[in-house]
A and B are shown apart, each in its own frame.
Chain A
Amino acid sequence: MTPSTKTQDTETPVSFWRRCWPRPVLSWLLWVLWLLLVNELSVGHMLLALFWAWLIPFYTHSFWPGVKSLRRPWLALKFLSVVVWDILVANWVVARLILRPADRLQPAFMLLPLDVQEDFTITLLASTISLTPGTVSADLSIDRRHLLIHALHVDDEQQAIAQIKQRYEAPLKEIFEC
Chain B
Amino acid sequence: MSLVLEIIISICLLLGAGFALVGSIGLARLPDFYMRLHGPTKASTLGVGGMIVGSLIFFSTRGEGVSLHEILIAIFLFITAPVSAHIVGKAALHLQLPAVERTRGLSAINRSDIR
Contact = CB atoms under 8 A, between A and B. Distances in A.
Interface string B61-105: 000010111011000001101110110011011000001101111
A134 B89 contact: no
A152 B35 contact: yes
Contacts of A146: 113-114
B contact face: mostly helix, strand, loop, or mixed: helix
Contact of A109 (B45, B82, B85, B109): B109
A130 B41 contact: yes
Given A107-B100, A150-B34, 17 more contacts: A33-B72, A40-B65, A91-B45, A98-B26, A103-B31, A105-B30, A107-B32, A107-B104, A131-B41, A133-B41, A138-B93, A139-B90, A139-B93, A141-B114, A148-B109, A152-B35, A157-B104
Interface size class of B (residues with CB under 8 A): 35 or more
A102 B37 contact: no
Interface of B: 19, 22-23, 25-26, 29-32, 34-35, 37-39, 41-42, 45-46, 65, 67-69, 71-72, 78-79, 81-83, 85-86, 89-90, 92-93, 99-100, 102-106, 108-109, 111, 113-115
29 contacts: A36-B68, A36-B71, A39-B68, A39-B69, A40-B65, A87-B46, A88-B46, A98-B25, A98-B26, A98-B39, A99-B25, A102-B29, A107-B103, A109-B105, A109-B109, A126-B86, A128-B82, A133-B42, A133-B45, A134-B38, A137-B82, A138-B93, A141-B111, A142-B114, A146-B114, A150-B35, A150-B89, A157-B104, A157-B105
